[in-house]
Chains A and B, each alone.
Chain A
Amino acid sequence: MSMWRWFHKFGSPKWFFDIASRLIPWLLGTGLVLLLTGLVWGLAFAPQDYLQGNSYRIIFIHVPSAFLAQSVYLMMASAAVVTLVWKMKLADVFVQTMAPVGALLTFLALFTGAVWGKPTWGTWWVWDARLTSMLILLFLYCGVIVLGRAIADEKSSARAVAVLVLVGVVNIPIIKYSVDWWNTLHQPATFTLTKRPSMPVEMWAPLLLSVVGLYLLFGWLTCVRMQTGILVREHRTSWVRALVRSQGV
């Protein structure tokens, strides 16, 4: 029972806003330190790859972006279930404020992948299953953004967006397993949670740092953007009015 109480407390906008305010400096600080360390390490200190030379250094931004692009979608799908089942406003605030972040991360994964593909594969783009399913993910994010803005009524917009997010969630396992199920130009995953990474520690350590760093920065963005969303939706409540007065301009 205590879990449910915690769950409902978590759904309280004021409670979330206060927690977010406290987390914001920590997430930004640790996130920046880890990401910058990972990137500088990867760019200047990690050894070359025997086959690709220095172009493989793009991995230190490509993999974190692609990793997050997919996990943000999974988080949005979980929030969509909460929207539909519990009608919790905060879940919809998450989905609608974080969709642009997911879209940007997907774009970055596609862009860095294309620039990396040119010197290694010999082409910017092929219509293989991994690349195409990732492009579909970008379209899904854009669809969520557009649909959310097209419907003025808060409740109908929340419901429509949640349904779209849930329909699109089948794309996530397709992205993940595309490289195993079909012949693709894209290689299988280097970095998984289940097996040892197929690179030496002086290459995967900076990669791990940048992945964790980007996750923390995503957490920071979540706090900032959801605070904005809460302020907009709760502007009539007395606590938001008081907060706005105390912040001044």
Chain B
Amino acid sequence: MQFDSFAAFLFMEGHGPYVWTCYAVFTLALVGLAWWSLKQRTAVIRQQYHAQLRAERRQASADAHTATDGSGTPAASFSRIHPS
């Protein structure tokens, strides 16, 4: 350790504010970037997961329509009016 006490370490003979500002900004920026990058990846997975579920539900209800209808008319044209 180059410093006699913790206070001296923080003060750094008057250069403390400069040095610590740099280290703080550097750490915050990198931690922020890492956190944002991880969050983005989770958000994309979550969004696609829900999109898949929605599509499946739509498909299922469309299938149900054709089943009850029984007339053989294509259900595809109705599938759009089921928002979830």
Which chain A residues have a beta carbon within 8 Å of chain B's beta carbons? Answer: 39, 43-48, 53-55, 57-58, 61-62, 65, 100-101, 104, 107-108, 111-112, 115-116, 118-119, 217, 220-221, 224-225, 227-228, 231-232, 235, 240-241, 244-245, 247-249
Contacts and interface: CB of A to CB of B under 8 A. Distances in A.
11 contacts: A45-B1, A55-B12, A55-B19, A58-B22, A61-B23, A65-B26, A220-B34, A235-B48, A241-B48, A245-B52, A248-B49
A115 B23 contact: no
Interface residues of B, number: 30
A54 B48 contact: no
Contact of A118 (B2, B16, B18): B18
A48 to B, nearest CB: 7
A26 to B, nearest CB: 16
Interface string B1-18: 111000001001101101
A189 to B, nearest CB: 19
Given A39-B23, A65-B26, A245-B52, A54 B37 contact: no
Given A224-B41, A241-B52, A249-B49, 18 more contacts: A53-B12, A55-B12, A57-B19, A58-B18, A61-B22, A107-B29, A108-B29, A111-B22, A217-B34, A224-B37, A225-B37, A231-B41, A231-B48, A241-B48, A244-B52, A247-B45, A248-B49, A249-B50
B40 interface: yes
B81 interface: no
A47 B65 CA distance: 78
Contacts of A245: 49, 52
Contacts of A101: 33
A116 B18 contact: yes
